Amino acid sequence: MPKSVRTAVFPVAGRGTRFLPATKSVPKEMLPIGDKPLIQHAVEEALEAGVTRLVFITHSSKRAIEDHFDVDADLERALEAAGKTETLDKLRSILPREASCVFIRQGEPLGLGHAVLCARPAVGDEPFFVHLPDDLIRGDTGCLAQMAERYQTTGTSSIAVENVPRDETDRYGIVAVDDADRLSAIVEKPAPAEAPSTLAVVGRYLLTPRIFDLLETTGRGAGGEIQLTDAISDLLAHEPVHAFRFQGTRYDCGNKLGYIRATIDVARTDPEIIAALQGKALL
Ligand code: UTP
């Protein structure tokens, strides 16, 4: 019987160059969608899936992420004294007591595969999630919870995928699958003419710990970086890996357009904002 997945790894050490200058001194994971930063949306999705250990692979320029999950006793006291209990409750619910955080510095951004390998000491010999917070996925059930449920049946690694236009394959990892959605190949950023399909990897993975052994020997790949995709390609020789077609809408919040689309869609489902905009005849 597959074990439950209790660890989620959040690689957040990348520089976020696609969203400069917004991300020059503010980590892209701290950009708000609604009233929560992207990283908090990510953590909430992991908690919903039953995760209790949160592992952040981070960088010295991303200290704000660590601060966000720390207790700010002065702020809490000030809110309490001012009688702002609702805000205080929101602050205190950022992280439930049963969840623990581990922060590991990547030092040099050598690639997503290298970032995941940095998590090895914190993850140990267990299956784990990898969650890329700039891919926001909204739906009735969180994407990681959907993947955790499927894992109880398959017991295999899985990778969230969605179809993209063929002329965009060179922005993604692209997979080839059989009739049962089992991966036969995975390629990083193939040119449209060479892509084995239009099924693109999005930022959610459930991985067995064998991936760490493979990452130890993964050389630099596309863009001169150590690519998680290349290690997953090696994993296919040892274990089945499934593509997971999630329910929900994905927003690539690492770029301006995706970020604005997510902001608008979140605002559209917030009754307070709708009422305020209607009141000002802005809707
Ligand atoms: P991206 O490809 O989105 O890179 O990384 P980036 O640096 O964050 O953003 P751009 O493309 O320059 O705008 C995918 C994920 O992998 C993490 C990033 O933080 C992001 O969550 N990452 C990437 C690392 O943690 N370390 C790395 O060395 C590379």
Is residue 283 domain-resident? no
CA neighbor of 88 nearest in space, from 97, 79, 98: 79
Residue 217 has pLDDT above 80, yes or no: yes
Is residue 282 domain-resident? no
282 band by pLDDT with thresholds 50, 70 and 90: low
CA distance 126 to 130: 13
**pLDDT at position 283:** 66
Nearest-atom number in ligand 1 for the CA of 28 is: 8
Residue 275 has pLDDT above 90, yes or no: no
Q: Angle CA(107)–CA(113)–CA(118) in degrees, nearest 5?
A: 45
State pLDDT tens for residues 42-68. 999 999 999 999 999 999 999 999 999
User: Bigger pLDDT: 2 or 49?
Assistant: 49
- Residue 200 DSSP label: E
Pocket of ligand 1 (CB under 6 A): 11-19, 57, 106, 109-112, 114-115, 132, 134, 254
**pLDDT at position 274:** 85
Query: How many structural domains compose the chain?
Result: 1
State pLDDT tens for residues 91-102. 988 998 889 999
Is residue 135 within 8 A of residue 262, CB to CB? The reply is: no
CA neighbor of 31 nearest in space, from 273, 254, 270, 251: 254
Q: What is the Å distance from ligand 1's center to 279 Cα?
A: 40
- Domain containing 27 equals 7-277
**pLDDT at position 192:** 96
270 band by pLDDT with thresholds 50, 70 and 90: confident
Is residue 128 within 8 A of residue 8, CB to CB? The reply is: yes
Nearest-atom number in ligand 1 for the CA of 20 is: 13
**pLDDT at position 200:** 98
| Rounded (10°) CA dihedral 228, 231, 233, 239 | -120
Region 78-95 average pLDDT: 92
178 band by pLDDT with thresholds 50, 70 and 90: very high
Is residue 1 domain-resident? no
State pLDDT tens for residues 241-266. 999 999 999 999 999 999 999 999 99
Which CATH number goes with the domain that contains 13?
3.90.550.10
**pLDDT at position 2:** 62
Query: What is this structure's pTM?
Result: 0.95
Q: What is the Å distance from ligand 1's center to 192 Cα?
A: 22
Report residue 119 as tokens.
Answer: 């998590």
Q: What is the Å distance from ligand 1's center to 269 Cα?
A: 29
Which of 30, 130, 134 is the pocket-test mutation for ligand 1 (most atoms within 8 Å of CB)?
134
Nearest-atom number in ligand 1 for the CA of 133 is: 21
Is residue 128 domain-resident? yes
Is residue 155 domain-resident? yes
Is residue 190 within 8 A of residue 217, CB to CB? The reply is: no
Residue 165 has pLDDT above 70, yes or no: yes
Nearest-atom number in ligand 1 for the CA of 15 is: 7
Is residue 202 domain-resident? yes
Region 112-137 average pLDDT: 97
Within 10 angstroms of residue 270's Cβ, the number of other Cβ atoms is 13
Region 157-167 average pLDDT: 97
Nearest-atom number in ligand 1 for the CA of 58 is: 25
Q: Whose CA is nearest to atom 5 of ligand 1?
A: 14
Is residue 235 domain-resident? yes
Q: What is the Å distance from ligand 1's center to 91 Cα?
A: 28
Within 10 angstroms of residue 85's Cβ, the number of other Cβ atoms is 10
Q: What is the Å distance from ligand 1's center to 41 Cα?
A: 17
Average pLDDT, the chain: 94
Residue 1 has pLDDT above 60, yes or no: no
